[in-house]
Structures are given as structure tokens and as C-alpha cells.
Amino acid sequence: MNAETWAQIRRLSAIDRLSQAEISRHLRLDRKTVRRALRSEQAPPARAEAAAVKPAKLDPFKHYLRSRLAEFPKIKATRLFTELQRIGYHGGITMLRDHLATLRPSVKEAFLRIETQPGEQAQVDWANCGSIRIGAALRRLSAFVMVLSYSRMIYVELTLSQCLEDFLGAHWRAFQFFGGIPRKLVYDNLKSVCLARLGADIRFNPRFLEFSGACLFEPVLCRPARGNEKGKVESGIHYFRGSFMDGRPIESWPQLRCELDAWLREVANVRVHRTTRQRPVDRFEGEKQLLQPLPSQEPHIAIPRPVKATSTARVHFDGNAYTVGHIHAYKLLTLKASTFEVKVFDGAKLLATHPRSYERGVVLENPAHFEGLLAAKKAARAAKATDRFLALAGVSEESKAALAAYIKGLVHADLNLHHHLDELLRMADLYGRTEVLQAVQQALQHGAFGAHYLKNIILQQRLARGLQEPAPLRLASKPHLADVSVEEQDLALYDDLFGKKEDGNA
């Protein structure tokens, strides 16, 4: 019986007027215990806690453990356990760990907060932000974060990789955002910055050193396991997660970037900072003048990679394929990728420029790369005609299915597929792809397969709208230009433009 039970028994008897039998049933105690509590005027003394005594199995080895820890303070418990077993210890490792905890208690280190001068330093790090779907591909989403140490002005950029190209490109856009470059940039031991480190000996990434030399800043590395040395960017990442990322749906990549730009302008850099008690944008006014000016020319950010063109004149990069001229098939080439662009070189000669795709399994093709090949190979020309016909659907899956069904119908009708596709493509150039797509949908409903059927449908549709037959464009001197496809534009853009102008004049 402890003091709490003693007090409860006396309270039930004196206040609630319960009998000893009722108290015994209520508390599930023996009647003798209840009777003894009611007769005692003082609570039973608290039981003295038994002194923590280590099991006897470890006692003979305690002197050995003290000597080993004096020589090697950080020696592991698993290593000592193995050594003790060799000299006769039969206890468990938990017993050993408990005793070692009393011999080397953990000591929490105190830190000094160091403030830097304006324009002297910025801190940089990556933040992992989950993943985002780009087309059919699921890509890792990361955030590049740079914080000016004096003003706490923050720059954040979302990226779909942490490769060196994106790392350097984000640096350059951060410098442009700040309008200058600090003298020192502090990093953790990132592979993009540091290839190897042994104590004070550091082997920097040569491509990164080239970039830092062009921008005239000094890279500074934190000591290993010393994240406090870049605490300002760590705090910035924590604030970014809580204020921007948490609870925000990660769906549209362009929309997410636009929302981030607005957050930097309207929230992050205009709030009152918890440490400085000032808005970063206000402190930045005094710091901006002390930043180093941007170099007159943008430094080289794209990293050259050796690639080999395939038999179909494509080079592969980051899960996608990019075309080059067909005469460069099988060649060893050089690819340079930046955040938004992919360029392919043969020595110093630029062969191809493509927008960079972050999907997977996409082929980015320039039709001009195959003009000579199409003229030489009829079969290849026919295959390209099929691809061009299917490309009329754009991004609409429903239109793609309709065009594929129409090609299948042409084959089953035992028609000359290549001839009819050429005619259909000429109609698309003459009337526009929208007219052709509508005609295909109507022809499928009636099972009418052939270029002449589609032309009749298009002419009937145009006649119903009061449109005349357009004259075909003839290029007698350069007939190969007739095969060049031009993307059809939405003319509603001009309606909106002139509508806004008229509203303004009104």
C-alpha cells in the first residue's frame, strides 16, 4: 500500500461514508489492507528506491572498460562487447550499454551566433520537396535555396534535378535576383562543389571552380557534421517548407513556379524576420550596394557530355532523345544541356538546339534534320508522313485515337496509304488541321475512307459557312519547302488583343 492508496481509503470512509467492505470492493483491496489504512494516522513511508546496482556479471570488467574509454573515448559498445566476450564476459550488450552511458555522458555543445557584414556572405543548400508528375514521368522535385547572411534576403528556385547544370544555373539566376554577388558562399559538402575531402584537404569540383572564378566568389565548406555553420540557410529552408510547400498541392509545374515567384516577392522577403526583427527587403537596401557586380558576360553553365548518335540520328539525355542531322548518325558528338535547352555539337559546330524535356521517353525532333533522308528513302518518307498525320492531333488523346482509327481504315480499305496520307497532309496545309480533324470525325461515323471523301466533307463544311476554296501555294523553284509543316495558331489571341485595345480607347 502506498500513500496514494492510503489517502483514497480514508477519503472514501470519512467523506463518502462507505463501509470497509464497500471500500474493499470498490478498490479491489483486501479488507485487512483497508482496516490497516483506517487505523493508521500517517501515510506509509515511501519505499526507498533501490540503488542502481550493475549486475554482478559486469563488475569484474569495469576497470577494463574505464581504461579502454580513457584511451579511446569514442570506442563503440559493439567493439567492447566483442573484447569482453573474449576475456570471459557472459552478460548481454544492453547491460554493457547502460554502464557505458554512465561513464561517458553526452555533452551538448553550445554555439555562438555569428553575424556577417553586408555583402560578405551567402549560404546555399538543396531541399528535397517530394516529386511531381511531368507528362507520364514522375520527377524528383528539389528546391535550390540561397540566403544572404546579413539581410536574410532569400532566393528559392524549384528544379527537377540536382545535377551540376541546374546547380550552376540556379546560382546565376540567384545572383541576377539579388543584382550582385557576395564575396563568399558557404556550402555543405555537396558533390557538386566538393569531390573529395580528407580533413583540411579539399578537392573541389573543377567545373564549379571555373564557375566561381568567373563570378569572383570564394566557396567555403562547412566542417563535416557541422550544419550549424550554415544555420541561416537551414532556417530559410525550414521557413520555406512551412510557409510555401506544406499543404500546397504539387500538380502543375509551371503554376508552382509562378506561385513561388509571387511568394518570394509578397511574403518571404517582406515579412519581419524572427532574428533581425526587420524585413529582409529593408536590410537588403543597405547590403545591395556592397555586393560584387555581375560579370559582363554570362558564365558557361552548360556542362559538355560526350554522346554517340544512334542509327536514327538521335542522341539520348536524361531519359529522352534529341535528333541531329541524319548525316551525323553513328558519330561521337558533344551535348551541352542547360536548365531550359539542349544543344548538340560536332566539335565547335552547332548541329541542333532543342528545348529541354523533363518527361521520360520523349523524342524531340526537328523535321529539317531528315529532309535529305526523306528525299532519298521513300519508305522513310512514308513513315514520316504517318507521324506527321498523327501529329495533327496535337495533345488531344481523343483526336489521336480518331486519326489512328482513320489510318487503320485506309489500310483495311486496301487503298494506297502513302498517297492518301500525302493528300491529307496537303489538305491540312491548305485548310488547317482543325478542318481536317472535324472531317475525320465525320468520315469515321459514315465509314468513308479516302482523301477524296475528306475533301468533299471539308468543302461542304466551308460552303455552309460561306467560305471560298483557297488557292494552293505553288513553290516551283523550291518544291521541298512544300513539306515544311507550320504549327497552326489560335487566332482568338488577336481577337482578345483588339478587344482590349478598343476597350482602352473607349
234 contacts 227 by C-beta, under 8 angstroms:
yes
Q: In the prediction, which pLDDT does 284 show? A: 96
Confidence of residue 312 (pLDDT cuts 50, 70, 90): confident
Q: In 199-302, where do the E strands start and end?
A: 201-204, 218-221
Give the count of beta carbons closer than 10 Å to the beta carbon of residue 179: 12
Q: In the prediction, which pLDDT does 482 show? A: 53
Mean pLDDT of the chain: 82
Q: What is the mean pLDDT of residues 313-323?
A: 92
Q: In the prediction, which pLDDT does 269 show? A: 96
Q: In 230-360, where do the E strands start and end?
A: 303-308, 314-317, 320-323, 332-337, 341-346, 349-355
pLDDT of 503 strictly over 70: no
The amino acid present at 134, given as its one-letter code, is: I
Q: Between residues 335 and 250, which one has the greater pLDDT?
A: 335
451 contacts 427 by C-beta, under 8 angstroms:
yes
Percent of the chain with pLDDT over 90: 29
pLDDT one-digit tens code per residue, 110-135: 444 567 899 999 999 999 999 998 88
- Picking from 378, 353, 369, the residue whose alpha carbon sits closest to that of residue 310 is 369
Q: What is the CATH number of domain 121-288?
A: 3.30.420.10
Distance separating alpha carbons of residues 241 and 132, to the nearest angstrom: 16
Q: In the prediction, which pLDDT does 358 show? A: 87
- Picking from 151, 148, 239, 153, the residue whose alpha carbon sits closest to that of residue 186 is 148
Distance separating alpha carbons of residues 481 and 371, to the nearest angstrom: 10
Q: Between residues 471 and 98, which one has the greater pLDDT?
A: 98
pLDDT one-digit tens code per residue, 423-434: 888 888 888 888
pTM as predicted:
0.55
324 contacts 351 by C-beta, under 8 angstroms:
yes
The helix (H) or strand (E) run that includes residue 285 is helix 280-288
Distance separating alpha carbons of residues 429 and 482, to the nearest angstrom: 9
C-alpha cell at 429: 496545309
402 contacts 441 by C-beta, under 8 angstroms:
yes
Give the count of beta carbons closer than 10 Å to the beta carbon of residue 299: 16
Q: In the prediction, which pLDDT does 113 show? A: 57
- Picking from 226, 166, 217, the residue whose alpha carbon sits closest to that of residue 197 is 226
Give the highest mean pLDDT range of 54-63, 258-267, 393-402, 495-504.
Answer: 258-267
Confidence of residue 51 (pLDDT cuts 50, 70, 90): very low
What is the 3-class SS of 173-197, one letter each residue?
HHHHHHCCECCEEEECCCCCCEEEE
Q: What is the mean pLDDT of residues 289-304?
A: 90
pLDDT one-digit tens code per residue, 332-380: 999 998 888 999 999 999 999 999 888 888 899 888 887 766 666 655 5
* 314-317 sheet: strands from edge to edge: 314-317, 320-323, 363-364
Kindly report which listed range (91-95, 145-149, 172-176, 393-397) carries the lowest average pLDDT score.
393-397
Q: Between residues 473 and 122, which one has the greater pLDDT?
A: 122
pLDDT of 441 strictly over 70: yes
Q: What is the mean pLDDT of residues 435-440?
A: 87
